[in-house]
Structure 1
Amino acid sequence: MGTEVSKVKQILRGQMRQALAELSDQERAWSDGELIQRFLDHPKLAQAQTVMLYYGVGHEIRTEGLIQTLLDQGKTVCLPKCLPENQMEARAITSLEDLAPDRYAIPAPKDTCPVVEREKLDLILVPGLCFDSRGSRLGQGGGYYDRYLEDYDGVTIGLCREDFFQVNLPREPLDAWVRFVLTEEGQVWPMGTSAK
C-alpha cells in the first residue's frame, strides 16, 4: 500500500509543479506578498525568537525579503543545511551573505554558521508544494523535513497558495504535518490540531 501512496504522491507532485509553472509572474508576486504578510502578522511568529525559514527557489514562495525582515527585527534566523542520507540541520545566519548555493543550488548557510539544536527552534516555516485540511503537506520528495520534524514539539507553519489547497492529500506514516496552514485568504485550522 505504501508503494501505491508513493506513486500517487509522485503523480500529484508532477501536477502541482506543472500548475505552479503556469502561474503568471503577476499572480505569483501577488500570492507571495499576501502569504508573507499573513506569516508576518501571525501571533506565533511574534512570540518566537528563534525561527527556521527556507529560501524559496523555483516556483516556491519567495522568502528572501522575509529572511531579511526577521533579521532586521532581531530574531535569530536559521536556514536548513542538507546533510548526507537525506538529513538536515538548522544553522543560524546574521545576513544573507552567510548563504551559499548547496548541492541543489539552493542558498544554504555556510559551514562557518553555527548549528542550532532543533529543540531551540521556536518556530519552523515548512515548505511544501501544497497542504491540506489536516495540515499534511506534499513536499519535493526528498524526505528531509519529514525526518527533521519527527517528534518536533514547536510551532510549524506552512504557506499554501489558495488555489493549491487540498482537502485530503495522500499520506504515509512518516509524513510530517504542520500546526497552521496560511493561505492568501487567511488561516486554515487543520483538523486534529490546536492553537498551542
Structure 2
Amino acid sequence: MKKNLRLQTLERLDDMSSEEFEHKTALLYKHLFQLTAWKQAKTVAMTMSRGKEIPTRPLIEAAWQHGKTVCVPTCFPQTKEMTFYEYTSQTKMTSSYFGLTEPDPVNSTAIEKTAIDLMIVPGVCFDAKGYRIGYGGGYYDRYLVDYPGEAIAVCLSVQQIAQVPAEIHDIPVSIIVTEKGAQMVASSK
C-alpha cells in the first residue's frame, strides 16, 4: 500500500511542469519563512534535496542569511541511525546511502538532537494528521521518537493524501507547509 502511494505521488510530481513546480515551491518558501518556528529557530535541520524533492538549497541559504546554524544528516545503514552534522560552505560532503549527499562524519561537527530547534522532515506524501511516507528507511521515525523540537514538513499540495497507513512506530510532523499555506496537523505532539 505504501509503495503504491509513494509511486502515485511521485508520478503526480513528475507530471508537473518545471515552471509550475518552481512557482509553487517559491510560494511554499514564503509561507515557511513566515512561521514563528522558522523565525525563532537558531538551528535548523534538513536533508540535501534531490530529484523532485522540494529544493533545500534556498532554505539553507536563507537560514545562513539569518544567522542560523544548518545541519544535515548522515545515515548509517549498519545501525539504521542517522547523525546530524553542521553544514557550512566548507563542509566536506560525500555521496552515500541511496545516493544522498551527506557530510563526511570524520571531518564534520556533530549537532546534538537537543540543539536542533526546527527539523524539516522529508517525505514523498503526507496526510492531515502529519503522518508521512518517506523513502522506506525509517531513519526519521527512529530519530523523532525523543526529538524535543518542532518537526515540520514542506511539500506541494499534490503530495497530500487522504490517509497514510501509519504504523505504531511512525512519528507525525506537527506542521505541514505547502504552496497554499501552513497548517497545524490534527495529531501534533
TM-score, length basis structure 1: 0.89
Give the corresponding residue for 2:5: 12
What is the CA distance between 1:37 and its match in structure 2? 2.0
Q: Is 1:185 aligned to 2:180, yes or no?
A: yes
What is the CA distance between 1:44 and its match in structure 2? 0.7
CA gap of 1:33–1:99, structure 2 versus 1, over 3 A, is: farther
Q: Secondary structure at the match of 1:104?
A: helix
Give the corresponding residue for 2:34: 41
2:134 aligned residue (139, 153, 175): 139
Gaps of 5+ in 2: none
Q: Is 1:93 aligned to 2:81, yes or no?
A: no
Instruction: Map 1:87-166; keep pairs closer than 5 Å.
Output: 87-95=81-89, 97-111=91-105, 112-166=107-161
What is the CA distance between 1:9 and its match in structure 2? 0.8
Any idea what the Cα deviations from partners look like across 1:24-49, whole Å, max 9, x if unmatched? 11111112212122212211111110
- Checking the alignment, whether the CA contact within 8 Å between 1:180 and 1:187 is kept in structure 2 is yes
CA gap of 1:135–1:168, structure 2 versus 1, over 3 A, is: same
In 1, Cα distance between the equivalents of 2:143 and 2:81? Answer: 7
What is the CA distance between 1:14 and its match in structure 2? 1.4
In 2, Cα distance between the equivalents of 1:66 and 1:32? Answer: 11
- Number of corresponding residues: 187
What is the CA distance between 1:97 and its match in structure 2? 5.0
What is the CA distance between 1:99 and its match in structure 2? 3.0
What is the CA distance between 1:96 and its match in structure 2? 6.4
Q: Secondary structure at the match of 1:78?
A: strand
Q: Give the residue type in structure 2 aligned to 1:59.
A: K
In 1, Cα distance between the equivalents of 2:174 and 2:16? Answer: 27
Q: Give the residue type in structure 2 aligned to 1:128.
A: G
CA RMSD of aligned residues (A): 1.6
After TM superposition, the runs of 4+ consecutive aligned structure 1 residues lying more than 4 A away are: none
TM-score, length basis structure 2: 0.92
Pick 1 or 2: higher relative contact order, CA cutoff 8 A, min separation 6.
2
Any idea what the Cα deviations from partners look like across 1:153-184, whole Å, max 9, x if unmatched? 21011012112212321111111210101111
Q: Give the residue type in structure 2 aligned to 1:102.
A: S
